[in-house]
Amino acid sequence: MSKPTIIVVGNGMVGYKFCEKLVSKTSAFNIIVFGEEPRRAYDRVHLSEYFAGKSADDLSMSTASWYVDHHIQLHLDDPIQEIDRFNKTVHSLNGIALSYDYLILATGSSAFVPDIPGIEKEGVFVYRTIEDLDLIKAYAVNAKNAAVMGGGLLGLEAAKALIDLGIKETHVIEFAPRLMPRQIDGAGSAMLQSKLNKLGLSIHLNKTTDCIAGGNKVEALRFIDDTLLAVDMLVISAGIRPRDELAKLAGLQVGTRGGIIVNERMQTSDNSIFAIGECALYDNMIYGLVAPGYEMADVVVSQLTGNVKSFHGFDMSTKLKLIGVDVASFGDAFIAEPACRTIVFDDTHKGIYKRINISNDGKLLLGGILIGDADAYNMLLQTVNNKIALPPNPEDMILGSRGGEQSEGAGVMSLPDDVLICSCEAVTKGDICGVINDGATDLDTIKKCTKAGTGCGGCVPMVKDLIAGTMKANGQYIKNVICEHFDYSRQELYDLVKINELKNYDLVLDHFGKGDGCETCKPLVASILSSLWNDLIVKQDTIQDSNDRYLANIQKGGTYSVVPRIPGGEITPEKLITIGQVAQKYGLYTKITGGQRIDMFGAHVSDLPLIWEELIDAGFESGHAYGKALRTVKSCVGSTWCRFGLHDSVSFAIEIEERYKGLRSPHKLKGGVSGCIRECAEAQSKDFGIIATEKGWNLYICGNGGSKPQHAQLLAADIDGKTLIRYLDRFLMFYIKTADPLTRTATWLNKMDGGMSYLKNVVINDSLSIACQLEEEMQLLVDSFHCEWKEVVNNPDLRKRFTHFVNAPGEKDPSVKFEGMREQVKAIW
Amino acid sequence: MEIAIDIDWALACYADDVPENGGVCMKHGNEQIAIYNFSRRGEWYATQNLCPHKQQMSLSRGMIGSVGELCEPKVACPFHKKTFSLLSGECLSGDDYKIKTYPVKVIDGRVYVGIV
């Protein structure tokens, strides 16, 4: 007997999730999918990231082989045109006719386009698919200003996309008196609006568009209050409309305002046809979020595999980051006095607004809104959904406990077992704790066993709290250990390696570890060995991260980039010419980096020794851009040329970069030297920053850029160059010896008991009596510096390792391909 | 009774071409195969070179190691550190990917990969 056939109409997120859930449960069906779009299902929730640099492939929900691997027939670019319910057959645009036993409609929704005069003009777009985005992208090149119609969730996402595209002036037009009218209240909207204004968005509320003015192209929007707004393009994001036309044609029942009517089993008015996702109308409601869509998919999979599960509405609470601003709304966000009591925290200084609605008896949390800081969202949502009794001071829930006692993680541990922690994959606290009790104590294993945290990832912090809390409850000792192979912290292992004078990884593993090591402990031990003995890292190349193994940064497509050291950013014309010639010869893309040097991209692994041979001949050294090591010491022009400069910042930057070049550390290190307080070298955003004063130099430490920028703090003022270098020696060596792996100096300081005053005491007042030792250890590293590339270039055995194919050394990886862009190359992959 | 398995043993390289506890990439027709010299355990493994996560030809440049009580051998892709079992090819980082594995034998210092 042949397998029953399931045809899925629509290959969006929910259609894909249905297939994924079904094949994970059973192989009893023959599955065929028809999609209207030309590409496989992709993550529409994160669509705006397409403009922020993600490719269509990055957004894809599956790999190309996934459907093949699971024996699913996939027809893309071929929408179903007709359902013949009598013969249980579907007909596609390309003329495919197939019969089904069950039909799953996952046709999704389209953008709702209001009927406004002029809506057909050129320059008016919707924001829904990757194709829409490509059209917007092409048109935006010539647009100076643009408007988004609709200030809801999707509209603001679209506005963010326009900013990312470089549109100078972006407007958001909302018909309601506030932004995101379905999620947040007026005060929350005002806070969000002030944040968005700062980012360059102009918000227009209470605006109804009367017509779109212009010739063939949109030129302006005219509102019913007779005002006019000149725009070059318009993106419509005024809501969604369920795609129910196919269902309607087939005579299935649809709602008066659209949507395919389904029962709690997601069945349409035809028993063998189901509808899921944004096309389905359950209890007069369209669920325009992905989590309820996934839940619907799960309900149908349950029906088909003989289990009983039904859909009873879905919590529409949401948390998202809109243009960098946290926005969350949960439970009954809008209920107001006298039906409840509200607690509001409104901080216009930091841009934080929090509102919680509690029952009149003060016992239960009913709902709320968070803008600017939504860290408490998960806990608050669980408190609403599980009717957990509120603490005596409910304001603690949004303000944090101030003075009272509350243990870390106790919040999530107090939840009942049936609480949904991961709503994307429907995983409960009981599921997760069960796995932890069975011995899984790391996030990866838990993701694998339960799928929790594999969707939007929003629950990952709670899962981590659950791991810590459950282990603690079981009496297990939680220690900050490196990985399963070493029961030590980095600092402990550093001391052990030093005292026992161990010089290679295998010895360290034999003495203090177990098993065969992994990608966490290998580079960590490599870094410790370098910081202690400064031996040539390529001698133990297979314990290095790929970048350190090949002494170059691996890039998309598998080629490497090459960054020679240019100390202080000073370079002679001759050396510039060499870089140009080398890049030309080996077909490399060149770009000036943020650290005042030149990066050459697109080098085949086998070309690396050839490239470096030429660079070294011209007097260059490795820039260690690939290592957790000193990168650059950036400098301003300084007193030699600049009319404001107090001291020669370039010479000092070069001296310092030459001193610490090649220094391996727990994370990368960056420095800067500015010749006056105008601070053109941006030294205060570096791990160490030096600024000239009338009397000498000020030394700042522990700053960084990156995702959490932090200013460096003043360690010592008006000191001379010699003292400064002594302090730097001590500070850097103390950091190298005591920091956790992959911890920048800023984070290291933030975690340090006693903070800056403690560190000052260690470095300046020598409170630990280790200053001399730190200086000696640093001097040893400075004296043993070697250029790794010079060693490789001059060593035939080491050179041999830079090949792609072991059995065809001259041949390059054929999967590496380039295309042209602005007269240079970029990788295709 | 002898069971005959149709394996074509392709010569890849000399054993000392492959770094200790590391990998190299072999070209076999249009295929790229990663070969690992797990010298700490005296074992050899081979898998496809393509990491299925972002379609990068990279696994031969990854770090190898072990996981769990049973010390299951694994390789970590250098791009995003997705890890794969060298025995089963299954992804150990919680994704559904699976990579192809190949048998390896070393005779007289020569490394052969079995193409099934």
> Pick from A444, A518, A806: which is nearest to B65 by CB?
A518
With CB atoms and an 8 Å threshold, state whether A506 touches B61: no
Domain C-terminal end among A254, A272, A304: A304
Domain C-terminal end among A218, A238, A258: A238
Same-domain status, A157 and A248: no
Place A317 in a pLDDT band, splitting at 50, 70 and 90: confident
C-alpha closest to that of A535 among A490, A581, A497, A586: A497
Q: How is A625-694 classified by DSSP, letter by letter?
A: TTSSBEEEEEE---TTT-SS-SS-HHHHHHHHHHHHTT-B-SS-EEEEEESSTT-TT-GGGSSEEEEE-S
- Whether residue A465 contacts residue A459, with contact meaning beta carbons closer than 8 Å, is answered with no
A258 CB neighbour count, 10 Å cutoff: 18
Q: How is A418-440 classified by DSSP, letter by letter?
A: T-EEETTTTEEHHHHHHHHHTT-
Predicted confidence (pLDDT) per residue in A242-269, tens digit:
999 999 999 999 999 899 999 999 999 9
With CB atoms and an 8 Å threshold, state whether B94 touches A57: no
C-alpha closest to that of A452 among A435, A469, A472: A435
Q: What pLDDT does residue A273 have?
A: 96
Q: Which domain holds residue A202?
A: 124-238
Q: What pLDDT does residue A402 have?
A: 55
Tell me how many domains chain A contains: 4
Smallest CA–CA distance, residue B22 to chain A, in Å, is: 5
Same-domain status, A97 and A165: no
Least confident residue range of A459-468, A589-598, A613-622, B37-46: A459-468
> Pick from B11, B30, B78: which is nearest to A545 by CB?
B78
Q: What pLDDT does residue A564 have?
A: 96
Smallest CA–CA distance, residue B8 to chain A, in Å, is: 17
Q: What pLDDT does residue B2 have?
A: 46
In a domain, A583, yes or no: no
**pLDDT, chain A, mean:** 90
pLDDT > 80? residue A458 = no
Q: Looking at chain A from residue 261 to 320, which residues have their Cβ under 8 Å from any Cβ of chain B?
A: none
With CB atoms and an 8 Å threshold, state whether B56 touches A558: yes
Smallest CA–CA distance, residue B92 to chain A, in Å, is: 8
CATH architecture of B15-115: 3-layer Sandwich (2.102)
Smallest CA–CA distance, residue B88 to chain A, in Å, is: 16
> Pick from A66, A516, A811: which is nearest to B66 by CB?
A516
Place A800 in a pLDDT band, splitting at 50, 70 and 90: confident
Smallest CA–CA distance, residue A807 to chain B, in Å, is: 6
Same-domain status, A643 and A748: yes
> Pick from B57, B62, B71: which is nearest to A515 by CB?
B71
Predicted confidence (pLDDT) per residue in A659-670, tens digit:
999 999 999 999
- Whether residue A804 contacts residue A763, with contact meaning beta carbons closer than 8 Å, is answered with no
Q: What pLDDT does residue B1 have?
A: 41
Cα A71 from Cα A78, distance rounded (Å): 19
With CB atoms and an 8 Å threshold, state whether A805 touches B25: yes
Same-domain status, A170 and A260: no
A448 shares contact with chain B (CB less than 8 Å): yes
Evaluate the CA torsion angle A321, A324, A327, A328 in order and state its sign. Answer: positive
Same-domain status, A755 and A644: yes
Same-domain status, A666 and A766: yes
Same-domain status, A105 and A254: yes
Same-domain status, A227 and A87: no
Smallest CA–CA distance, residue A146 to chain B, in Å, is: 35
CATH number at residue A724: 3.30.413.10
In a domain, A424, yes or no: no
B contacts of A445 (beta carbons < 8 Å): 94
In a domain, A101, yes or no: yes
Q: What pLDDT does residue A579 have?
A: 97
Same-domain status, A704 and A648: yes
pLDDT > 50? residue B85 = yes
Same-domain status, A706 and A634: yes
pLDDT > 50? residue B5 = yes
> Pick from B52, B73, B94: which is nearest to A444 by CB?
B94
A431/A322: higher pLDDT = A431
Task: Quickly tell me which residue has 């216009």 as its tokens.
Answer: A348
In a domain, A233, yes or no: yes
With CB atoms and an 8 Å threshold, state whether B93 touches A448: yes
With CB atoms and an 8 Å threshold, state whether A518 touches B73: no
Q: What pLDDT does residue A362 have?
A: 86
Q: What pLDDT does residue A757 have?
A: 87
C-alpha closest to that of A393 among A437, A353, A343: A343
Per domain, the residue ranges of chain B are 15-115
With CB atoms and an 8 Å threshold, state whether B67 touches A484: yes
Smallest CA–CA distance, residue B42 to chain A, in Å, is: 12
> For chain B, what is the largest distance between any 2 Cα atoms, rounded to a whole number of angstroms?
46
Same-domain status, A23 and A88: yes
C-alpha closest to that of A546 among A801, A826, A806, A829: A801
Predicted confidence (pLDDT) per residue in B21-45, tens digit:
999 999 998 899 999 999 999 999 9
Same-domain status, A297 and A366: no
A484 shares contact with chain B (CB less than 8 Å): yes
- Bridge partners, residue A749, by sequence: none
> Pick from B41, B76, B81: which is nearest to A516 by CB?
B41
Smallest CA–CA distance, residue B1 to chain A, in Å, is: 34
CA distances from A183 to A149, A188, A316, A688, A797 (A): 18, 9, 9, 44, 64
Place A106 in a pLDDT band, splitting at 50, 70 and 90: very high
B contacts of A435 (beta carbons < 8 Å): none
Percent above pLDDT 90 for chain B? 72
A809 shares contact with chain B (CB less than 8 Å): no
- Whether residue A273 contacts residue A279, with contact meaning beta carbons closer than 8 Å, is answered with no
Cα A195 from Cα A178, distance rounded (Å): 14
pLDDT > 70? residue B8 = yes
The mean per-residue pLDDT over the stretch A84-107 comes to: 95
Cα A207 from Cα A176, distance rounded (Å): 7
Number of cross-chain residue pairs from A and B with Cβ atoms under 8 Å apart: 115
Cα A140 from Cα A713, distance rounded (Å): 42
C-alpha closest to that of A469 among A426, A444, A433, A434: A433
Among A518, A551, A800, A811, the residue to mutate for chain B (most B Cβ within 10 A): A518
Q: What pLDDT does residue A409 have?
A: 40
pLDDT > 90? residue A405 = no
With CB atoms and an 8 Å threshold, state whether A518 touches B74: yes
Domain C-terminal end among A238, A261, A288: A238
Evaluate the CA torsion angle A510, A511, A515, A521 in order and state its sign. Answer: negative
> Pick from A484, A542, A816: which is nearest to B63 by CB?
A542
Cα A612 from Cα B36, distance rounded (Å): 27
ipTM: 0.90
CATH number at residue A367: 3.30.390.30
In a domain, A508, yes or no: no
Is the preceding peptide bond at A117 cis, omega within 30 degrees of 0? no
Cα A8 from Cα A29, distance rounded (Å): 12
